[in-house]
Amino acid sequence: MKAAIIAGGLARRLRPITEEIPKALVEVAGKPIIEWQIEWLKKYGVDTIVILSGYRREKLIDRLGSGKKYGISIVYTVEDTPLGTAGALKNAEKVLQGEPFLVVNGDIITDINISELMKPLNEGNVFLMSIALVPLRSPYGIVVLDDNGVVKEFREKPMLHQHLINAGVYAMKPEIFPYIPEKGDLEKTTFPDLASQGRIVGVVYRESYWRSIDTTKDIDEATKELLRGH
């Protein structure tokens, strides 16, 4: 099985850390994000990873090489100018033909069950892609009141299970490529188009670990969680 990792962004919010390295090489709990991803993907049978690279791509190549040391094969596609998430994926069209594949944002750490995400694409239905959904984590602590307005409880950044967010992990059929433009973002082009046609199915993961690494605070919090065994 193949997986594409979107790893070409400039990662401005993580500067100065990302002035010399791409975001995918930012270390969390002593290991680069992309190595967490490689271990997770390999566990579910991924044997070929396509790195959609751009910014500081030479650093990724130096670190990951051919993938042999991880027991997988790594292929690189390169965007000389920023193409957006859609353009980056379109750039890898020839490499990803043949069977359903995975697409992963290069700034997340998760343990979701990929097998569950692939199932909807193996049943001969109209879906061109499935999208992993996770509960929204509140950015703030919340206060719980009783019916009389008395404070009963303080909850530190709880998961808001009634709200689901895009986890940045997708399973796609190769037939999706005609819907992907050569430049632009998947979230603004392909996804709305397919959603209007009823061709995307969501798979909800309420108990899985998931973290997006966007700020230094995210690095600190994810490091503590991972070292605690999440």
* Alpha helices, H only, 113-213: 114-118, 190-196
> DSSP readout, 5-44?
EEE----GGGTTGGGSS-GGG-EETTEEHHHHHHHHHHHT
Distance CA 106, CA 6 (A): 5
Pairing of strands 159-172, 129-137: antiparallel
Q: Of 40, 35, 41, whose CA–CA distance to 21 is shortest?
A: 35
Q: What are phi and psi of 57, to 5 degrees?
A: -60, -30
Distance CA 106, CA 25 (A): 9
- Give the Cβ contact number of residue 101 at 10 Å: 25
Scored b (16 or more CB within 10 A) or e, 16-39 reads eebeebbbbbbebeeebbbbbbbe
Query: Considering 90, 94, 152, 157, which one is annotated as catalytic?
Result: 157
Output the CA–CA distances (angstroms, integers) from residue 23 to 45, 69, 147, 198, 223, in the order listed.
25, 21, 46, 33, 16
Catalytic annotation on 2?
A: no
Give the catalytic positions in this structure. 157
